């Protein structure tokens, strides 16, 4: 869940009319991917790159929760499938960095063959091989301070990469969902809420169909331009959404309200060390927290609380309406005001006032929305 989405400059793309025969060609190209497909899915084309050391149990959980996410957030007729498919899932084993390095090679071979400088029939770019870390002509890991593989499925410090969406569908030609493993059986729940979280990001971005610079795209989703520093990227909305829906939907699917309450409550308890206490004593608003150090967790977890706060007033549907109409509304602020009744800036004080209540009162909100 770290911030390495959209690691490349946004490419201009070309819309061109496509004939039926070209569409058929594209479908055939997908069929010849020699990759295990997540078979329970309907219109979703999700394929798995599996780290050799990862157990089958982990793979089965990923498949299960990807299928759940498709049912939750994507829809046969209304979803922008050109901006969703294919989804590549790099299923990593957190305890074996060598298997992640080996998987990078298989993944890059695939990109070299299928996502290498052609324009897709759907009009978006298909150049993930050059855009990312796979093409050695464009990226030298050692020069970037990377000592383990490509630092694509690994970190510079030799750890296995954390879960994230690490691609730009408009120019790469696919969505890449990096899925780090969770130790089983005790962390089986993490496969659920983390997979839903990442699939929610694919849902968010799939609503942005128009071409634009990377900055324009980040402004549209509220990651840029909604904090006090216009150049700083802030997670409160984009991540607050994904964290909230990860917890909320996971709990609903396993029918465990207490799990949801406990997960959300842990960040707002009255102890001096809780995220809420750190936040309230920081003197900053939720939209000023960035991805730097300790700030990230506050942006993510209390961002989820802001989403819960809005859902309590406007309902869950308002969030989907926001995402699905954001482009039509024109920009982040207009869409926010349209679906949540007033400017997002005005909610910052309301939210602080809400968080200043005793935790028992705060937690009551969760019982209202679940």
Q: Which residues bind Zn ion (CB under 5 A)?
A: 1, 239, 242
Closest C-alpha to 165, from 190, 189, 200: 200
Smallest gap from residue 164 Cβ to Zn ion (A): 7
Smallest gap from residue 346 Cβ to Zn ion (A): 26
**Cβ nearer to Zn ion, comparing 242 with 355:** 242
Smallest gap from residue 214 Cβ to Zn ion (A): 17
Crossing angle of helices 257-265 and 238-254, rounded to 10°: 150
**Cβ nearer to Zn ion, comparing 1 with 44:** 1
**Cβ nearer to Zn ion, comparing 1 with 311:** 1
**Cβ nearer to Zn ion, comparing 121 with 326:** 326
Smallest gap from residue 195 Cβ to Zn ion (A): 12
Smallest gap from residue 92 Cβ to Zn ion (A): 16
Smallest gap from residue 5 Cβ to Zn ion (A): 8
**Cβ nearer to Zn ion, comparing 153 with 203:** 203
**Cβ nearer to Zn ion, comparing 110 with 263:** 263
CA distance 195 to 64: 9
Q: What are phi and psi of 135, to 5 degrees?
A: -80, 115
Q: Is the peptide bond before 185 cis (omega within 30 degrees of 0)?
A: yes
Name residues whose C-beta falls within 8 Å of residue 102's C-beta, 6 or more positions apart in sequence: 51, 52
Residue 117 region by backbone torsions, left for phi larger than 0, else alpha for psi between -120 and 50, else beta: left
| CA within 13 Å, CB half, 11 | 23
Smallest gap from residue 170 Cβ to Zn ion (A): 19
- In angstroms, how far is the first alpha carbon of the chain from the final one? 25
**Cβ nearer to Zn ion, comparing 148 with 245:** 245
Residue 208 region by backbone torsions, left for phi larger than 0, else alpha for psi between -120 and 50, else beta: beta
Three-point CA angle 191, 193, 198, nearest 5°:
90
DSSP string, 13-39: -------HHHHHHHHHHHHT--S-B-T
**If DSSP codes are grouped into helix, strand and coil, which group holds residue 211?**
coil
């Amino acid at each position: 869940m770290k911030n390495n989405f959209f690691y490349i400059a946004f490419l201009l793309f070309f819309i061109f009319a496509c004939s039926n025969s070209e569409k058929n060609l594209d479908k055939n190209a997908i069929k010849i991917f020699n990759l295990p497909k997540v078979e329970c899915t309907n219109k979703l084309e999700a394929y798995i790159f599996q780290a050799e050391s990862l157990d089958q149990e982990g793979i089965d959980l990923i498949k299960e929760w990807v299928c759940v996410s498709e049912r939750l957030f994507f829809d046969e007729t209304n979803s922008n499938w050109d901006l969703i498919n294919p989804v590549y899932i790099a299923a990593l084993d957190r305890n074996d960095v060598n298997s992640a390095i080996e998987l990078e090679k298989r993944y890059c071979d695939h990109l070299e063959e299928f996502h290498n400088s052609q324009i897709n029939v759907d009009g978006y770019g298909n150049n993930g091989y050059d855009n990312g870390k796979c093409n050695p002509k464009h990226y030298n890991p050692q020069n970037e301070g990377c000592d383990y593989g490509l630092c694509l499925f690994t970190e510079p410090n030799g750890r296995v990469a954390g879960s994230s969406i690490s691609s730009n569908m408009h120019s790469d030609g696919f969505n890449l969902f990096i899925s780090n493993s969770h130790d089983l059986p005790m962390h089986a729940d993490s496969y659920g809420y983390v997979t839903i979280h990442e699939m929610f990001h694919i849902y968010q971005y799939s609503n942005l169909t128009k071409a634009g610079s990377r900055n324009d795209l980040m402004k549209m989703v509220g990651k840029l331009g909604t904090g006090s520093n216009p150049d700083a990227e802030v997670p409160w909305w984009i991540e607050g959404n994904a964290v909230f829906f990860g917890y909320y939907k996971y709990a609903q699917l396993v029918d465990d309200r207490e799990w949801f309450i406990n997960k959300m409550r842990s960040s707002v308890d009255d102890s001096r060390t809780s995220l809420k206490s750190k936040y309230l004593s920081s003197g900053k608003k939720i939209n000023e927290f960035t991805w730097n150090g300790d700030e990230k967790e506050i942006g993510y977890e209390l961002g989820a609380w802001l989403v819960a706060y809005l859902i309590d007033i406007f309902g869950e549907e308002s969030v989907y309406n926001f995402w699905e109409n954001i482009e039509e509304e024109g920009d982040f602020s207009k869409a926010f005001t349209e679906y949540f009744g007033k400017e997002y800036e005005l909610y910052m004080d309301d939210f602080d006032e809400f968080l200043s209540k005793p935790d028992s009162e705060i937690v009551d909100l969760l019982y209202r929305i679940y």
